Each structure stands twice: as C-alpha cells, then as structure tokens.
C-alpha cells in the first residue's frame, strides 16, 4: 500500500511563494500518477494539479495555471507543488493523492485516486 506524507505548508503574504512536498513510502512509486487537491473552510475539496507517472504530462485547474507547477522525482519517491504569486483565495488544506499503479495518466477526479495524505495547511494573507 502507498503511504503519503505532505510537508512545506505555512503562512505567506499575497504574491509570495511556497513549495509543497509529498513523500511516498513505496518502492513502486514510479508506477503511480499523482495529484494535488485542496479544501478551503466551508467548501468541498477541489482538484488542483496532476502529473503522469513518467512526469511527461501535467494538468491544472484554470485558477492556478501559470502560477503553480507540479513535478516529481521518482528517484526520491517525491512529488512537488511549486506555488508562486499566491492569492488569499489559495488558502486551504492541500492534499497529495496517488492513482492506482495500472493508471499512468492524469486525472481530475477524486474517485480515480486510491491513496491520500493527511494534508498540509497553506494560509495566504493579504
């Protein structure tokens, strides 16, 4: 089973940057396409970004295009989310998720991810 642990969250001013990391405890990490989701208070969880198992394909929600970058380092069993030009509306708990090993392509659907991390808080002040 794949276990995921997020880190790198914190407090930042609007216009600033943060880099989130997600470490996977799995020897076969390279088989899993990965994604980032977020949930703000009073709102349902939404898709943010996804990356294929090879890292060759990425997909983003419109609200973060041009500001966020998802990447992965399979040798380190880690996926990253670089967040630039942060806005107060980016404030949320951010979750890392992994698809099943058979699926290598990107997905925006929660029900297509099998494993989830505990989340890390990102707060952007104005």
Q: What is the pLDDT of residues 35-82, one digit of tens each?
A: 999 999 999 999 999 999 999 999 999 999 999 999 999 889 999 999
CA distances from 12 to 19, 81, 82, 84, 87 (A): 11, 15, 13, 11, 9
| Helix, coil or strand: residue 111 | helix
Q: Residue 43: exposed, middle, or buried by beta-carbon count in 10 A (0-12, 13-18, 19+)?
A: exposed
C-alpha–C-alpha distance, residues 85 and 91, integer Å: 13
pLDDT tens digits, residue range 71-125?
Answer: 999 889 999 999 999 999 999 999 999 998 888 899 999 999 999 999 999 999 9
**17: which 2 tokens?**
């940057």
């Amino acid at each position: 089973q794949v276990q995921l642990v997020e880190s790198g969250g914190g407090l930042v001013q609007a216009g600033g940057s943060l880099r989130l990391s997600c470490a996977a405890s799995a020897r076969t990490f390279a088989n899993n396409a990965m994604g980032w989701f977020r949930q703000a208070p009073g709102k349902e969880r939404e898709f943010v970004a996804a990356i294929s198992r090879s890292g060759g394909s990425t997909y983003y929600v419109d609200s973060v295009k041009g500001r966020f970058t998802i990447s992965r380092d399979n040798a380190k069993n880690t996926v990253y989310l670089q967040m630039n030009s942060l806005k107060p509306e980016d404030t949320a708990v951010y979750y890392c998720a992994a698809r099943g090993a058979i699926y290598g392509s990107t997905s925006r659907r929660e029900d297509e991810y099998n494993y989830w991390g505990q989340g890390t808080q990102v707060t952007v002040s104005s």
